[in-house]
């Protein structure tokens, strides 16, 4: 009878969309995000507010008053949160192994050999 979905350890699609905008600006008000989203689709101001409040509750955003409105700021760097989403995806789809993902990317031509070589060079450079 119980549902018990395991409570998304990562960002939902809409949450991610908003976080991307906040990361891009470093800080953002509800209005900032609202106006950016409006350029793509119809959405209500209060919807954005609700989502950002949820993101705060979940620990992804923190807020501080600035004049009359709240100014939101990311709690974690983008690379860290995206990294967690990648990890969750690989766990769920490939039982934790990244290699079959790479094989898929290459076979489906989403990555070419020169992309791989570029990354290899990057690794070399970071040594």
Partner DNA sequence: CTTGACATACGAATTAATTAGTACTATACA
Partner DNA sequence: TGTATAGTACTAATTAATTCGTATGTCAAG
Q: Would you tell me which residues interact with a second copy (CB under 8 A)?
A: 6, 13, 16, 79, 82-83, 85-87, 89-90, 92-93, 98-99, 101-106, 108, 110-111, 113, 115-117, 119-120, 122-124
Q: Write the DSSP symbol of residue 58.
A: T
Closest to 6 in 3D by CA, of 121, 88, 124: 88
Residue 38 interacts with, from a second copy, DNA, none (CB under 5-8 Å by kind): none
Q: Which range, of 13-21, 81-89, 97-105, 116-124, touches DNA by CB under 7 A?
A: 13-21
d(CA 75, CA 61): 5
Judged by CB under 7 A, the number of residues near DNA is: 29
CB 72 within 8 A of CB 27: yes
Phi, psi of 115 (to 5 degrees): -65, -45
92 is a contact residue toward DNA (CB under 7 A): no
Q: Determine if 123 is a binding residue for DNA (CB under 7 A).
A: no
């Amino acid at each position: 009878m119980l549902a018990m979905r395991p409570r998304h350890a990562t960002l939902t699609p809409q949450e991610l969309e908003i976080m991307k905008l906040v990361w891009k600006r470093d800080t953002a008000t509800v209005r900032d995000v609202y106006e950016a989203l409006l350029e793509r689709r119809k959405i209500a101001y209060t919807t954005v507010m609700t989502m950002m409040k949820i993101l705060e509750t979940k620990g992804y955003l923190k807020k501080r008053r600035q004049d009359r409105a709240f100014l939101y700021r990311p709690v974690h760097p983008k690379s860290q949160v995206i990294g967690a989403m990648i990890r969750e995806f690989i766990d769920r789809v490939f039982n934790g192994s990244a290699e079959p993902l790479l094989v898929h990317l290459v076979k489906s031509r989403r990555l070419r050999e020169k992309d791989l070589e570029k990354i290899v060079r990057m690794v070399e450079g970071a040594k």
